[in-house]
């Protein structure tokens, strides 16, 4: 019997990319397709972080209605954080949906799929006591690309006033080190050379003594694993051992995403970030002392309730002082159920637009400077795939810059020195060093 086809649309963060892979692996008898029209099952793996996330999902479900009408046996599921937040409401509003599964329950997908094949509708948005990773089948040994995500931690206990993660992903949970190592070894056997360790608050990982630094060193001992990264971190969990690892563990790349959100102490307190701008700046100093060439990126929210012009200027000042290689920036949007959503002093949309434009211009300036500083230097590039031009390969540098260079396709999965020759808006050009 030919395998059935599974189409997954992934919204949001890298953790959802990883989760989509694991959900596909959990469903026996299916192979993935990039064409929803030929699918036997469609899964929307959703994110609830950004504004109107639920409405976007409902809109996408509406666009699936003609497919369902033409193919009544098509099964449609909603997974991820919107599923967790909306639950049964999705089934009520969208009768075409067959199953709803939260991010902590997708190991139960096989049983849910069997149920919906009988005509039932299934919902599981619990926070189960069992470890979903322990219940999932071993990952297949099929050949993979040279980079992979690896979830090591889920959930968050920080309760930032703007964030829904503690409510949709639950409390902080760390996977045991031995299971992470086993999965990493399996990835290396399949061709992976670089792993990015994932967590909503990844540097709060506590699966063994020594924290994330100990895990990084443990994984660095795996032959064939050449590069390690991690995201997303919280400033308050950046301990001295992890800072030291950036300085003396060669496989830990000189790149760190360290969200700050604002440069104003009053706004940071209102956000419940539990650090000040000065705390953050002194942390950056310690990190750069350990690894002077590290490239820092961050997250920023403009227009948090009550943010004044002067407080926004403090954010711009912090950006100038740190000198980020890039950053994500967003206008504040109320997330239902979070403390900030109920606060007075919501900033006018036109004010947020103006502030975001100014912030993004400054961040773009910083990114351009960081990239132009690489011109003439030699960096090491992990080549991943052919480029758009004949004879060209694309890969990522130590600092996570996209780099394209003339190179044979046989270099896919290999790390080679490349001299950077030019900088474009979102990539670098280079030439192989003999």
Q: Is 81 known as a binding-site position?
A: yes
Q: Is 156 known as a binding-site position?
A: yes
Q: Which residue from 273, 275, 265, 369 is spatially nearest to 317, judged by alpha carbons?
A: 265
How much is the CA Rg of the chain, to the nearest whole Å? Answer: 22
Q: Phi first, then psi: what are they for 15, rounded to 5°? A: -65, -35
Q: What is the DSSP track for 331-394?
A: E----TTSGGGG-S-PPPHHHHHHHHHHHHHHHHHHHHHHHHTTTT-EEEEEEEEE-SSTTEEE
244 by Cβ neighbours in 10 Å (0-12 / 13-18 / 19+) ranks as middle
Q: Which two tokens stand for residue 152?
A: 């090591």
Q: Phi first, then psi: what are they for 98, rounded to 5°? A: -100, -30
As a whole number of angstroms, the distance between CA 88 and CA 72 comes to 21
Q: Is 62 known as a binding-site position?
A: no
Q: Are 338 and 162 in contact, with CB atoms under 8 Å apart?
A: yes
What letter does residue 195 receive in the DSSP assignment? E
As a whole number of angstroms, the distance between CA 10 and CA 16 comes to 6
3-state SS class at 200: coil
Q: Is 425 known as a binding-site position?
A: no
Q: Is 148 known as a binding-site position?
A: no
Q: Detail the DSSP E strand segments found in 70-205.
A: 75-79, 99-101, 122-124, 147-151, 153-154, 173-174, 194-198
Q: Are 75 and 40 in contact, with CB atoms under 8 Å apart?
A: yes
In DSSP terms, which residues pair with 208 in a beta bridge? none
Q: Which residues contribute to the annotated binding site for [4Fe-4S] cluster? A: 13, 47, 81, 156, 160, 163
Q: Which residues contribute to the annotated binding site? A: 13, 47, 81, 156, 160, 163
């Amino acid at each position: 019997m030919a395998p059935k086809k599974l189409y997954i649309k992934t919204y949001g963060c890298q953790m959802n990319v990883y989760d989509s892979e694991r959900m596909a692996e959990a469903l026996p008898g299916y192979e993935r397709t990039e064409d929803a029209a030929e699918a036997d099952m469609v899964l929307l793996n959703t994110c609830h972080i950004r504004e109107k996330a639920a409405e976007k999902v409902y809109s996408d479900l509406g666009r699936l209605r003609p497919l369902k009408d033409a193919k009544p046996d098509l099964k449609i599921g909603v997974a991820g954080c919107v599923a967790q937040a909306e639950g049964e409401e999705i089934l009520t509003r969208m009768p075409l949906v067959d199953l709803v599964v939260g991010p902590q329950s997708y190991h139960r997908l096989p049983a849910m799929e069997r149920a919906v094949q009988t005509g039932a509708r299934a919902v599981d948005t619990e926070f189960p006591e069992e470890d979903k990773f322990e219940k999932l089948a071993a990952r297949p040994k099929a050949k993979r690309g040279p980079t992979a995500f690896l979830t090591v931690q889920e959930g968050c206990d920080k309760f930032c006033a703007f964030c829904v993660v503690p409510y949709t992903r639950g409390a902080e949970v760390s996977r045991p080190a031995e299971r992470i190592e086993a999965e990493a070894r399996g990835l290396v056997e399949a061709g992976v050379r670089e792993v990015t360790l994932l967590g909503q608050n990844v540097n709060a990982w506590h699966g063994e003594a020594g924290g994330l630094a100990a895990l990084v060193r443990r994984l660095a001992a795996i032959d064939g694993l050449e590069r390690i990264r991690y995201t997303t971190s919280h400033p308050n969990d950046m301990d001295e051992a992890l800072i030291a690892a950036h300085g003396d563990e060669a496989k830990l790349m000189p790149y760190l995403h360290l969200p700050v959100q604002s440069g104003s102490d009053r706004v940071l307190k209102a956000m419940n970030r539990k650090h000040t701008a000065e705390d953050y700046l002194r942390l950056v100093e310690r990190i750069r002392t350990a690894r002077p060439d590290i490239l820092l990126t961050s997250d920023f929210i403009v227009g948090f309730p009550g943010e004044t012009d002067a407080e926004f200027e403090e954010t711009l000042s912090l950006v100038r002082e740190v000198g980020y290689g890039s950053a994500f920036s967003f206008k504040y949007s109320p997330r239902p159920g979070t403390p900030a959503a109920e606060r007075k002093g919501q900033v006018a949309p036109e004010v947020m637009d103006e502030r975001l434009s100014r912030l993004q211009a400054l961040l773009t300036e910083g990114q351009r400077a960081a990239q132009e500083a690489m011109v003439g230097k030699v960096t090491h590039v992990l080549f991943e795939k052919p480029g758009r031009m004949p004879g060209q390969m694309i890969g990522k540098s130590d600092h996570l810059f996209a780099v394209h260079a003339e190179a044979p396709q046989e270099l896919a999965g290999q790390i080679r020195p490349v001299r950077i020759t030019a900088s474009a808006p979102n990539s670098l050009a280079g030439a192989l060093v003999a």
